[in-house]
Amino acid sequence: MAYKQYFRTGTVSIGEGEERRSFEVSQWVPAGALLVSLDAGDETGSGNKQEVALSPGSQVEYSADSRGLLAETSGYPKLTKKKEGSVQIVTVSLEPMVRISEDGWSAQLTLYPPCDGGPVPDQQQILDELTRAGVRWGIRERAIKAACEQVSEQKTPVVGQVIARGRMPVNGQNGRLRIEVSVGVQPGEEQSDGSMDFKERNVFIGVDAGQLLATRIPATAGLVGINVFGHEVPQVPGKELNVKSSADIVFDEQSGQIRAACGGVVTVVNDTTVKVTSKQVIPDDIDYHTGNVRSKGGVEVGGSVRPGFVLRAGGDILVNGIIESAQVIGGANMIVRGGMTGKQSLLEVEGDVFVHYIEEGRVVARGSVTVAQELYFADVRCLGSFTCGADARVIGSRLFAGGSLSLHQVDTDTSPHSTLAAAVDSERHERYVSLLKKKERCEEAVFKLQHRLGPGGASVDLEDRQEELADCSAELKEFNLIPVSPDNDAAGGLRYACGQKIDIAGVIQAGATIRIGNSEAILRHTCREGFFSLNGDTQKIFFYSSKNPLQNFEL
């Protein structure tokens, strides 16, 4: 028994001189084309009959009589052979000309120059293939035409060209507050000339009873998405901000205005909460003379917070000195005019943090974090953005931001490597890491049980571990780290993640871990002056040089 092959393969060369390279391609075939078939005869030509078996690979199926292999879609077939005993296994797989992403958000085109000088698929054939695949929306006819011209005229391949793209849903914006009192510029805000303003934010702003503090801005509905099949993908509407009158504020539901119910100092947290509190002043250090300090209002510390002591406040916190192996926990915003030192140090606030430097310790904020000078071996996690001052160095630190990161120099040739993450919910990331460890434990347990039971062995314990491993793998596959979308929707928030960046004004050393949203990579090359961003088509992280586009590359 022999087989007959119905498509040709050949070698195509592209480029000139030293850049000239050759590769093997096959003839393009349409969907339904017969690729190989069994044929009675002596393959060896020596009288020794050899049995041949056909095996369909990717995008290939058996013919009706099972004696041939057919192309399930248009594309480029590839034939491989291997011998098992006296049987020769002939496998044919096919690289599709048009590939639809699993999530239905894009269609990509692959075209190769013909190996025999024949024609390449034209624009109409590609459009017909899209129609056959059910693509109805977001077709880019100009991209298709340009790809056909490139292959026909320049004789260079087109691989993975996006020729149809859906419209990602735009989630609604949550309700927020428009602040009507001047709290000053957020530290680290970018100015019109591109520089960063590191002036401290105003704190302890006095207000009178009845004074207008803020106005509630309603949530928005967002915009429904459409995948390439023309199916609507619902967006997540914004959530209305719940505001209620209390002892310190008066809220008018009809106008959305919030006024002070009494005199005091105003506290604004993440543009979603406003309150009027009292102010407590600690003239010197928090140490053995004061003991731990707990306040429902705002607290100003004239000195430092010494090792082992705790400061808790319901309002804004201002520390004029340093925080040294101590815990400072606040219900609003925090300014530390000195720095933070010591592995046991913890800053945890509901709003924003501004601190001059961090030497070890941990910062957790539901707002943004600004560090004017250096970070050494620090762990910083925030739901807003993270900003470093000009010429600041980040050494061996872990930085997680729900928004973007703006940095200058990261690591040195001899320092430990930093981890930089943008568009990531740090609490979800901790759960994600726990899941990865759980999966590793399950895989190890399954391996040990299979080794002990032997080939084909079974037990209730093995079935339980395999089921646990399958559940863990399924959860990891859909796990989403992007904070603006549900944690079980891996495709959610992609538009948001693509809008966040990790800016590098100076140098970042090779070896750092770079994560944006659900994508992570290790930096293999030292980079200078540019930014890392997520490509929405490939969901890969790219570095874009600010000075030389030739230095752009995929991580």
DSSP string covering 255-274, please? T-EEEESSSEEEEEETTTEE
Domain end (from 81, 96, 111): 96
Q: Would you state the pLDDT for residue 1?
A: 67
Judged against a pLDDT cut of 50, whether residue 344 lies above it is answered with yes
Calculate mean pLDDT across residues 219-235.
92
Residue 122 lies in a domain: no
**Residue 242 to residue 174: CA distance in whole angstroms:** 11
Judged against a pLDDT cut of 90, whether residue 434 lies above it is answered with yes
Residue 55 lies in a domain: yes
Query: Where are any strands of DSSP class E within 191-308?
Result: 196-197, 205-207, 212-217, 222-223, 225-226, 232-233, 249-251, 257-260, 264-269, 273-277, 279-282, 293-295, 298-301
- pLDDT band (50, 70, 90) for residue 181: confident
Judged against a pLDDT cut of 70, whether residue 357 lies above it is answered with yes
Question: 64 and 177 share a domain?
Answer: no
Question: 202 and 85 share a domain?
Answer: no
List the alpha helices (DSSP H) in 259-415.
Answer: none
Q: Would you state the pLDDT for residue 304?
A: 95
Task: Report the predicted TM-score, pTM, of the whole model to 2 decimal places.
Answer: 0.70
- Of 35-44, 417-426, 517-526, where does mean pLDDT reach its minimum? 35-44
How many domains does the chain divide into?
4
Residue 418 lies in a domain: yes
State percent of the chain over pLDDT 70: 92
**Residue 229 to residue 174: CA distance in whole angstroms:** 29
Q: Would you state the pLDDT for residue 484?
A: 80
Rg of the chain (C-alpha set) = 31
Which two tokens mark 192? 């019109």
**Residue 353 to residue 412: CA distance in whole angstroms:** 26
Question: 410 and 268 share a domain?
Answer: no
Residue 522 lies in a domain: yes
Q: Write out pLDDT tens, residues 47-92.
A: 456 688 999 999 999 999 889 999 999 999 999 998 888 888 999 9
**Residue 349 to residue 366: CA distance in whole angstroms:** 7
Residue 231 lies in a domain: yes
- Of 58-67, 148-157, 334-343, 358-367, where does mean pLDDT reach its minimum? 148-157
Question: 409 and 261 share a domain?
Answer: no
- pLDDT band (50, 70, 90) for residue 137: very high
Q: Would you state the pLDDT for residue 17?
A: 62
Question: 254 and 205 share a domain?
Answer: yes
Q: For residue 48, give the CATH number of its domain.
A: 2.40.50.880
Q: Write out pLDDT tens, residues 461-477.
A: 888 999 999 999 988 88
Q: Which of 220, 345, 317, 368 is nearest to 358 (CA)?
A: 345
Question: 441 and 498 share a domain?
Answer: no
Domain end (from 67, 96, 125): 96
Element (H, E) at 278: none
- pLDDT band (50, 70, 90) for residue 96: very high
Question: 449 and 467 share a domain?
Answer: yes
Q: Interior CA angle at 387 toward 386 and 393, to 5°?
A: 115
What is the domain extent for residue 223? 171-188+197-276
Calculate mean pLDDT across residues 529-551.
88
Q: Would you state the pLDDT for residue 186?
A: 53
Question: 422 and 434 share a domain?
Answer: no
Question: 439 and 508 share a domain?
Answer: no
Higher pLDDT, 191 or 361: 361
Question: 177 and 326 share a domain?
Answer: no
CA dihedral sign of residues 401, 404, 407, 413: positive
Judged against a pLDDT cut of 60, whether residue 229 lies above it is answered with yes
Calculate mean pLDDT across residues 477-489.
85
Question: 241 and 311 share a domain?
Answer: no
Calculate mean pLDDT across residues 322-332.
94
Residue 140 lies in a domain: no
Instruction: Kindly report the length of the chain.
Output: 555
DSSP string covering 413-462, please? SSSPPPEEEES--HHHHHHHHHHHHHHHHHHHHHHHHHHHH-TT---HHH
Residue 110 lies in a domain: no
Judged against a pLDDT cut of 70, whether residue 44 lies above it is answered with no
